[in-house]
């Protein structure tokens, strides 16, 4: 394989870089192999009900919307659970920095699949936050008291005892959680297809679960740098 050479680089640098490139090529192949296996998953379980959410309608007033209606013209629906419940004074900074990036991608994503951000706060609060943050392309909807969060692990209420311990959820307490869930409409039925369950896998030592990393440009850009992500740095809502 013929490689690049940058000005004044040493032979030791090029040897190490070429070896790293070989590993990056293997990683590319592994990422695609995993994506192929994901696409080949059998269809998951049918959703237990046609959940009713709340969104801001075309007349700028709250309106009810069923899950089956969220697909629009598509057969695939992606829902991202945003940690911004009514008990929170401000949204989760991890979710917020991710959504800052996804808002730009959403204008393109909508050409291929339906995408919505769901959270437990009232729809007026979600709309106000989206406006303040400058999110113009994402659809934020409220779970409006339905059981979607519990059923699809957008909160901790149905965590097993082991996962509660892993996530350090105290007995008698529950909070909202972040997760991507993908659904498919087929023959008039909505079925679950995939969820970002990496968040609930045993974590690597001294490492965040990285369940949403493939959709997160911030962490991927930092991984390109000599300093990396840092041992204790985490994005904030405001700086």
In this structure, CATH architecture of domain 52-200 = 3-Layer(aba) Sandwich (3.40)
Taking a C-beta distance cutoff of 8 angstroms, is the pair 5, 14 a contact?
Answer: yes
Instruction: Determine the Cα–Cα distance for residues 195 and 211; give it in Å rounded to an integer.
Output: 10
Question: Which pTM does this prediction carry?
Answer: 0.94
Q: Which class for 59: exposed (0-12), middle (13-18), buried (19 or more C-beta within 10 A)?
A: exposed
∠ Cα 23 28 29 (to 5°) = 95
User: Of the candidates 127, 189, 113, 176, which has an alpha carbon nearest to the alpha carbon of residue 150?
Assistant: 176
For the chain, the structural domain boundaries read 1-40, 52-200
Taking a C-beta distance cutoff of 8 angstroms, is the pair 91, 237 a contact?
Answer: yes
Per-residue pLDDT of the chain (239 residues; tens, 9 = 90+): 677 899 999 999 999 999 999 999 999 999 999 999 999 999 999 999 999 999 998 888 999 999 999 999 999 999 999 999 999 999 999 999 999 999 999 999 999 999 999 999 999 999 999 999 999 999 999 998 899 999 999 999 999 999 999 889 999 999 999 999 999 999 999 999 999 999 888 888 878 888 889 899 999 999 999 999 988 899 999 99
- Cα 156 to Cα 146, 147, 180: the distances in Å are 15, 12, 15
In whole angstroms, how large is the CA radius of gyration of the chain? 20
Residues in the chain: 239
What DSSP designation does 41 have? P
User: Of the candidates 32, 45, 63, which has an alpha carbon nearest to the alpha carbon of residue 139?
Assistant: 63
């Amino acid at each position: 394989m013929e490689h690049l050479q940058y000005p004044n680089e040493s032979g030791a640098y090029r040897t190490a870089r070429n070896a790293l490139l070989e590993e990056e090529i293997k990683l590319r192949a592994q990422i695609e192999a995993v994506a192929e296996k994901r696409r080949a998953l059998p269809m998951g379980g049918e959703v237990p009900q046609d959940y009713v959410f709340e969104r801001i309608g075309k007349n700028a007033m709250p309106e009810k919307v069923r899950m089956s209606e969220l697909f629009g013209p598509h057969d695939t629906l992606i829902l991202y659970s945003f940690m911004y419940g009514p008990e929170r004074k401000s949204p989760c900074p991890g979710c917020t920095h991710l959504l800052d990036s996804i808002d730009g991608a959403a204008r393109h994503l909508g050409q291929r699949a339906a995408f919505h951000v769901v959270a437990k706060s009232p729809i007026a609060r979600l709309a106000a936050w989206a406006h303040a943050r400058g999110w113009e392309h994402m659809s934020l909807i409220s779970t409006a008291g339905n059981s979607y969060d519990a059923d699809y692990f957008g909160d901790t209420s149905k965590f097993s005892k082991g996962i509660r311990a892993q996530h350090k959820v105290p007995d008698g307490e529950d909070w909202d959680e972040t997760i991507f869930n993908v659904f498919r409409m087929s023959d008039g039925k909505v079925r679950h297809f995939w969820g970002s369950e990496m968040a609930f896998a045993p974590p690597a030592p001294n490492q965040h679960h990285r369940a949403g990393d493939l959709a997160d440009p911030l962490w991927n850009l930092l991984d390109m740098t000599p300093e990396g992500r840092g041992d204790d740095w985490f994005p904030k809502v405001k700086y």
